[in-house]
Amino acid sequence: MNRRVCTRPGELEPELSSPVCYTLNLMKPGIDEVWKRLREHEGEVFRQVRGKEFTYTLGRDHVEPSTTDWRFPRKQVEEAVGLMPVDSTKPLQHLYAILMDPRIRRNDG
């Protein structure tokens, strides 16, 4: 489901006299689509909010960041996808960095 959103004239850029419109994709992808994207970018460098770099490996049923001994089960990743975007990244630092990265998120709402 998509939603068209328009600003008031001058709201984003004072010199613009017409509204700026864009389309939001409000549909969140399913876990199979996200898992496919994770597979495509496995081993690439991701950055946490504070800039710490890490990579991840993708097991059959988990994501394992390189800078910790944690494993995030596929079910937990699925639940995290449903929460994105979030206001606080503290409990989800690695998952947030991966799931909010444009390579994984793409144009999802």
**All residues at 6 or more sequence positions from 92 whose CB lies less than 8 Å from its CB, including other chains:** 80, 83, 86
Are 45 and 55 a contacting pair, CB within 8 Å?
Answer: yes
- Give me the residue spans of the domains in the chain: 28-105
Indicate the pTM of the whole model.
Answer: 0.60
Q: How far is residue 54 CA from its own chain's centroid?
A: 16
DSSP characters for 32-101?
HHHHHHHHHTTTS-EE-TT--EE-EEE-SSEEEETTSS--EEHHHHHHHHHH-S-S--GGGHHHHHHHTS
Q: How confident is the model at residue 32 (pLDDT cuts 50, 70, 90)?
A: very high
pLDDT at 12 over 50: no
pLDDT digits 0-9 by tens, 45-93: 998 878 889 999 999 999 999 998 889 899 988 888 877 766 666 656 7
